[in-house]
Amino acid sequence: MKKILLLAGLLLTVATASAQATLDKGALQLNAKLGFSGWGVPITVGADYGIADDITVGGELSFRSYSTTYFNHSIFGVFANGNYHFNRLFELPSQVGVYAGLSLGYFVASSSSDYVGTSYSQPGCNLQTGARYFFNNKFGVNAEVVLGAIGLTGGEFKAGITYKL
């Protein structure tokens, strides 16, 4: 039993030691997240593409819904984002990544009642900061805090998984 635990620990250490959180120029990663916000539970999918050392651009699709006594809302969002990654600047371990950036996009919301503003849409602008931890060269987990500067989000916390292609 001790040998099995030792071997499992060694394999996990080797897998973790080879993980890299930085996204190289020309590389692509996919993200899926679930979160908490004042406008329901956001469910998002997105992608990031490395355009330069420490800089990524990407996109994200989001859906959330919430209900009160008087109405039910559904909100769909489409965003483009840009992030700066602080890995080199902060000399972080290779499996850890920390970033911050800006997202610009559009929301479409609808309500299932006679509530004023039954259906509407508006642009959105968000500031985000987040972190990733990679278990190996392909798979990691992520967490992100978003502050909605313009639009419906207000603020939210999201966490999920990341997969590098």
Cβ-based neighbours of 28, under 8 Å, separated by 6 or more: 47, 48, 49, 50, 164, 165
Per-residue pLDDT at 113: 67
Cβ-based neighbours of 103, under 8 Å, separated by 6 or more: 60, 79, 80, 81, 82, 124, 125, 126, 127, 128, 146
pLDDT (tens digit, 9 = 90+) per residue, 6-16? Answer: 444 434 444 44
Per-residue pLDDT at 117: 59
What's this model's pTM, rounded to 2 decimal places?
Answer: 0.80
CATH number at residue 145: 2.40.160.20
Task: Give how many domains the chain has, as a whole number.
Answer: 1
Per-residue pLDDT at 58: 98
Least confident span in 13-17, 32-36, 39-43, 119-123: 13-17
- Domain range enclosing 128: 2-164
Rounded Cα distance between 61 and 50, Å, is 19
What average pLDDT score do residues 141-150 get? 89
In the predicted structure, residue 157 carries a pLDDT above the cut 50: yes
